[in-house]
A and B are shown apart, each in its own frame.
Chain A
Amino acid sequence: MILNALFSPEFINATLRTTTPILFATLASAVASKSGITNMALEGIMLFSALFGVIFSAAFHSAWLGLLVTMVLGGFIGFILAFFVLKLKTDEILAAIAINLIATGGTVFTLLTVSGDRGVSSSIKSLQLPKITLPIIENIPYLGQIISNQNILTYLSLIMVVVVHIFLYKTPLGLRIRAVGENKDAAESVGISSKKVQFIALIISGVLASIGGFFLSGGYMTYFTKDMSAGRGFIALAAATMGGNTPVGGLLVSLLFGAAQAFSNIMQMGGSLPHELVQMLPYITTLIGLGIYSYSLMKKRQRLSGK
């Protein structure tokens, strides 16, 4: 019975929805990691973006403009992280923790200042980007129900997988990012400023994560709640690693975690299991997934050296 539910088009449709923010964050993590920096501030960027999305879409009466501004601000936070890590030589984990902290406090504070709401953006009407029904595809029986009728950002996330792939492997900047991440000295020796490259990578990372955050409060939910990123930024770190920091690998793993989240959502609404336990599901999935992935990697390394 559960298996039926898992393969039902509604579930896969829901999975695509829940995967969207995770996927954006995963792509963000992959780009940053390729350039040699672990971006642990994704959590904070998503949280800020979720809030900014609500505020600015309402302010401009346009979800598109809200998205644009949010992306700029997301890139800006990426810039700040880069500034502290690269210019002021702050440890990347500590700087990220600092940004996440500022996000936790700052979002609640800003929300209160802007709208008087404490913790939930009830008084702001959050605008969303439209859902799209794909004309012909929506009529295909199984596939149509899955793919059609998704938020535009969901489609965008899938397109982004391709875009990021081409960017990393076919453009000069992508080549430089990979070079800097693999051997910073080598890149420097040919006159590439590794700092500049990493700055750009972190800004891109911030922009990608911010789209994911925007979707959280404008598509996935329709309002902002404090701490709504709920660890997705951290899950994305695991997902990117497990996908070898490649866009395609990241997509596959993100789908896995998205499915776990979707499953958890469904169970919470009408399942027989206590909802607190069910909420643990995405995180346990990540934990176990990470363990299995690392274990197989370790075994492969050992096999290669003939143990």
Chain B
Amino acid sequence: MLISLYCMGFKNRYYFFDGTYSSYQLLVINFKKWEAQMSNKVLQMNNIMKIYSNGVVAVEDVTFELEKGEIHALLGENGAGKSTLMKILFGLESPEQGKIILNGKETTMKSPQDAISKGIGMVHQHFMLVPSLTVADNIILGVEPRNKKIFIDSDKSVEISREIAEKYNFEIDVRANVEDLTVGVKQKVEILKALYRGADILILDEPTAVLTPQETEELFVQLKKLKETGHTIIFISHKLDEIKNICDRATIMRNGKSKGTYNVSDISTSEMSKLMVGRDVVTEFNKKPPILKKTVLKVRNLTVTGSTGVVRVNDLSFDLKEGEIFSIAGVEGNGQGHLVEALTGLTKNYKGEILMFNENIKKHSIKKIRNFGVAHIPEDRMTLGCAKNMNILDNILSIQYDNKEYSGKIMLKSKKIQNRVNELIKEYLVKCKSYKQSVGMLSGGNIQKVVVAREFSTNPKIIIADQPTRGIDVGAASFIRQRIIQFRDDGCAIILISADLNEVFELSDRLAVMYKGKFAGVFNDVENLTEEELGKYMLGIKHDDRLEGIIYEQ
């Protein structure tokens, strides 16, 4: 019996045969079940381990398997290891240990090109398109059709691109320059790129992070169609409701380990989030009603033109009082970034008035504006929010080194600074070795905590928080949101710009929607607003030009 078992190719399983006929039958049944399962598995990643060059164990002994034709969610906080796992699958990283078995054959992914040739395609969170080239050029890049062997056949490029767009029912003008396209369309181009190269397995990394609710719906329709044509999709996200909506199974990762794979229909969102963080995530903050004091910010007829000459903020006006959280919701790219730049002094290129504490800030330097008590949590923490090669202390000092407590006329007071930074590290629960550790070595959530620690430690009167919890783990996000509410209760005036609708609903006292540089609507009663309604305003389907409540005083 054992001999025949070995002949059937059983190398890694150990079966105990005690000699009875019934046991043998059981064995055969199990083997047949196993065989049936195996043939459906299009991908198997076994015992993967990845250690980064800074010593962080990103993935620790993870096993992940994928069935053909399913939409499989890969769930986890930032730092859980899901991006790393997919980078290994796509050949961007190589694991210290572990096996990848694709369609029953063991392989290694040596590079993205290698992974692509094996039928794996990836749509990244940050688009990988060349802006000055056309859609067609971007699609055929790397596999250009030739004219006489050395030249590119541009007519053929356009033809090919049109064909593939039609095949999958994407409506795109393939001759358009990528830089002129909207975010939703750019994502479609990304997906087409992968499909053109013969991807059977599509990895989508946080695909809905930049889409409106309606665009998300469109995407889901597309994904279901792709499922029908036999493609398999790995859906990386931490949006539990979307996963419930569209995914078949979900693998949950936490701290580099896999917490198991589940059928989505068999598990609830609270169970999923428990597995993700190991505790019930506090979703209710129980805010007290706001106590509004004086108006600290008045914006009148603000118009900001971007670097390409396109008007990004169009005749915007609003007020802000102490003690409230005023949220500006909207899909990225509707002018929020330019508004923040104008408010913080990062750009002086605008028309209209911005009055802080009744003073026009047009001629004020960034430093002077900050000295008014303005704190700014930037949207992109890595480019604007920190100097990743410097240590935590240097990163926190950058807005308070002029303070009499921390420096004299010329010299810095090192001891005082060190003590203060250590205090802040404790207070903001920054996970690090010491203040000497360089910020680039910390996880995303901890870097954001350093940013928040810096900005909040100057006792600000106005806080401008631009996507403050984007891309960080739930624990850190929760901590930061609680802090924001604390400041609001202490009389701070807060502008919150966020694309995270949950956050917007949880934190806002007053809510405005920004669409194409204007306010599409203002909501003073956030509790009774639905996500669907909000989505309509965000997409420009609905707008209310009365904007009641946007200005407190003339």
> Is chain B in direct contact with chain A in the complex (CB below 8 A)?
yes
A175 in contact with B131 (CB, 8 Å): no
- Asked if B124 is at the interface (CB within 8 A of a chain A CB), the reply is yes
Given contacts A172-B152, A182-B131, A183-B130, contact A188 B112 (CB under 8 A): yes
Q: Tell whether B251 is near chain A: CB-to-CB under 8 Å.
A: no
Interface residues of B in 201-217 (CB under 8 A from A): none
Once bound together, how far apart are the Cα atoms of A304 and B306, in whole Å?
8
* Interface presence of A222 (CB below 8 A): no
Q: How far is the CA of A219 from the CA of B151 in the complex (A)?
A: 34
Interface string of B142-161 (1 = CB under 8 A from A): 11101000111000000000
B520 at the interface (CB under 8 A from A): no
Question: Is the C-beta of B458 less than 8 angstroms from some C-beta in chain A?
Answer: no
Cβ-defined contact, A183 with B131, below 8 A: yes
- List A145-202 residues whose CB lies under 8 Å from chain B: 170-172, 175-176, 178-179, 182-183, 185-193
The number of chain A residues touching the other chain, given as a range, is 20 to 34
Q: In chain A, what residue has the closest Cβ to B348?
A: A307
A172 touches B146 (CB 8 A): yes
Q: B20 to nearest A CB, angstroms?
A: 55
Contact among B131, B137, B142 with A191 in the assembled complex (CB-CB below 8 Å): B142
CB distance from B88 to the nearest CB of A (A): 16
Bound Cα distance from A183 to B131, whole angstroms: 8
Residue of B nearest to A301 (CB): B307
Q: Does B403 contact A (CB under 8 A)?
A: no
Question: In chain B, what residue has the closest Cβ to A192?
Answer: B142
Q: How far is the CA of A185 from the CA of B138 in the complex (A)?
A: 12
Complex Cα–Cα for A178 and B142 (A): 12
From A169, which residue of chain B is reached at the shortest CB distance?
Answer: B152
Bound-state CA distance A138–B175 (Å) is: 47
A192: which B residues are within 8 A, CB to CB? 113, 141-142
CB contacts (< 8 Å) of B252 on chain A: these are: none
Chain B min CB distance to A79 (Å): 21
User: Which of B113, B193, B305 is A306 in contact with, Cβ under 8 Å?
Assistant: B305
Pairwise interchain contact A175-B305, C-beta atoms closer than 8 A: no
**Which chain A residues numbered 191 to 217 have a C-beta less than 8 Å away from chain B?**
191-193
Please, how many residues of chain B have a CB less than 8 angstroms from a CB on the other chain?
Answer: 33
Chain B interface mostly: loop
Q: Is the CB of B349 within 8 A of A307?
A: yes
- Interface residues in A274-307 by Cβ distance below 8 A to B read 301-302, 304-307
Contacting pair A305 B128 (CB below 8 A): no
A189 touches B124 (CB 8 A): yes
> B111, B137, B146, B152: which has the most chain A beta carbons within 10 Å?
B152
Q: A190-B197, A192-B141, A304-B309 in contact; A171/B151 too (CB < 8 A)?
A: yes
Task: Please measure, in the bound complex, the distance between the C-alpha atom of A190 and the C-alpha atom of B142, giving whole angstroms.
Answer: 6
Contact A179 B130 (CB under 8 A): yes
Residue B132 is within 8 A (CB to CB) of chain A in the complex: yes
Flag if A185 contacts B349 (CB, 8 Å): no
The reply to whether A191 and B197 form a contact with Cβ atoms under 8 Å apart is yes
Specify which of A171, A183, A193 is in contact with B111 (CB 8 Å cutoff). Answer: A193
Task: Say whether B306 contacts A191, CB under 8 Å.
Answer: no
Residues of chain B having any CB pair with chain A under 8 Å: 111-113, 116-117, 122, 124, 126-133, 137-138, 141-144, 146, 150-152, 193, 197, 305-309, 349
